[in-house]
A = this chain, B = another copy of it.
Amino acid sequence: MSTEDSPSEETARPSLSRRGLFGLAAGVGAAGLALGAGAGSAIGVAVGRERAEQEGAASVHPFFGTHQAGITTPMQDHLHFAAFDMMAGSSRDDLQSLLKDWSYAAARMTQGLDVSASGAVGGSPEAPPDDTGEALGLPASGLTITFGLGSTLFSTDSGDDRYGLARLRPAGLAKLPAFLGDDLDPSVSGGDLCIQACADDPQVAVHAIRNLSRIAFGRARLRWSQLGFGKTSKTTAAQATPRNLFGFKDGTANILADDTKALADHVWVAEDDAPAWLAGGSYLVARKVAMLIETWDRVRLSEQQRIIGRDKAQGAPLSGGVETTAPDFGTTDAAGAPAIDRASHVRLAHPDLNNGIRILRRGYNYVDGNTDLGRLDAGLFFLSYQRSPDQFVTLQRALSTDLMNEYVRHIASGIWAVPRGAGDGSYVGAELFA
C-alpha cells in the first residue's frame, strides 16, 4: 500500500463532480458557494496534506482500484457502519451526484485529508466549514470506506423503478429469507445504500460516516448505524485470531486476504456472473447478532466447548491438534460419540458439510450499553462478503440446528450489492449510469 496510489488533486478532481459537492455545501450553509476557491482552500489542503504525511504508508489504503477497499483489507480495530435511504422524491441525478460526491469525499478522507479542499477551517469564516473537524490532526488511521447498494435502490418493494435501474438489479439481490430464530427490528435493517467505514481510530471512522451523512443532505438520510470494535475475524495470516464476546477465537478458517484463488471462487463476482456491471464486486451481508452473554457465562466450560466445537484456550478443534488443524468430524471419544458434536457451530458452518461454500467474514463486537434488566446489550455485528447471496443463505440455513442458537438472537439484517472499485478519478457505482 503506497501513498503513490493516493488520489492527487489532479486525478480526483477532473472526473468527479466537485460541483455536486459544493452544490450540497450551498444547501447546507448560507454561503457555501463561496467555498472551494481562494486563499481559504489552500489552507485546507495544506492542513490535510500535513496529516497524510505523518502517516506510515501501511495505514493508508488506496481508494481507487479494481476492488473496493475494506473487503480484503486487513481488519482495522473499529467499525462505523451506516445504512441510508434515499429521500422521497429524489431523482436519478440525485443518486448519481450523491455517489460521485461520496466517492470524492471518501477518496480524500481515506488518504487522511479533509472532506474537501477547504476542509474544516479553510473556507470562508462566514460559511459553515465543509468538514466537521473532529479528525483534524489525526492520521488516516487505515480508514477504508466501502459502499453498497440495496435491492430497494433498484426497485422498491412495490415495484417502483425510481431511478431507472430496475433492469440492472442483480437477480439474487433481494431481502434475505426468514431464518429460524430471526427477531429482526425493521428500523435497524435494510436500507437503499450502506457504508462500511473501518479505521484503527474510532474518531476517524465516526468522522467519515458523519461527513458522508452530511454530504447526503437533501438526497439521502441516515436510516440506522452501528459502531463496533475488536474484530471477530482473522483476515490475514500474520494476525492472531481475535476473540468474540463468547470468549472464543473466531474466524480461524476465514478466507485470507492473500488467498487469490479462494477470493475468486467465493468472494468476487466474476465476469461470467450476472449482472456484468457487478463483476469485481461482491455482496455484503450484515447481521446484528445479540448475544445473551450473562446466560452464556453461566454455562460450564465443557458445554461451551461442545457448542462451539473447539477448545476455548487455543481454539483447537475438539477432534484434536492445534488451532489450525482441520476438524475431523469422524473422530470419536472414548464412549464412541463424535468428538465434535454434530450440532456444534464449527461442524454446521464447515465447508465440507455445505458443498464447499465459504464466505469472507469481517465482523466486529458491539456493546450498546445495557438493557433495562441490567444486562450488557452486546453481541456480534456480523459482516460477510460473498460472490452470491446464496452462499450466506445456505450457510445460515445450515445453522438452524446450531447449539449456539440458544445464546444468540438475530436482531438486524441487511444485504447490499458492493460494486467494483472506482477507477482513478471515477466513482463507485459509475457502471450503473454508463
Chain B, Cβ-Cβ closest to A229: B202
Residue of A210, A221, A372 ringed by the most chain B CB atoms within 10 A: A210
Say yes or no for A214: interface residue by CB 8 A criterion: yes
Q: Which of A208-225 contact B (CB under 8 A)?
A: 209-210, 213-214, 221-225
B203 lies within 8 A of A230 (CB): yes
A301 lies within 8 A of B375 (CB): no
Chain B nearest CB from A375 CB (Å) reads 7
Say yes or no for A411: interface residue by CB 8 A criterion: no
Chain B, Cβ-Cβ closest to A213: B376
Given A203-B365, A214-B297, A293-B210, does the pair A243, B30 have CB atoms closer than 8 Å?
A: no
A243 lies within 8 A of B300 (CB): no
Given A210-B376, A247-B134, does the pair A120, B312 have CB atoms closer than 8 Å?
A: yes
A125 lies within 8 A of B301 (CB): yes
Number of interface residues of A (CB under 8 A): 75
B128 lies within 8 A of A300 (CB): yes
B223 lies within 8 A of A374 (CB): yes
Chain B nearest CB from A240 CB (Å) reads 6
Chain B nearest CB from A40 CB (Å) reads 10
Q: Which of A175-218 contact B (CB under 8 A)?
A: 187-188, 201-203, 206, 209-210, 213-214
State the CA gap A220–B227 with chains docked (Å). Answer: 28
17 A-B pairs whose Cβ atoms sit less than 8 Å apart in the complex? A28-B297, A28-B298, A30-B300, A120-B312, A120-B313, A124-B301, A126-B300, A127-B300, A128-B300, A136-B247, A201-B230, A203-B229, A203-B230, A203-B243, A222-B375, A227-B367, A227-B369
A-B interface, 10 closest residue pairs, ranked by CB to CB distance from nearest: A133-B247, A125-B302, A203-B230, A121-B313, A222-B374, A202-B229, A221-B374, A125-B301, A134-B243, A134-B247
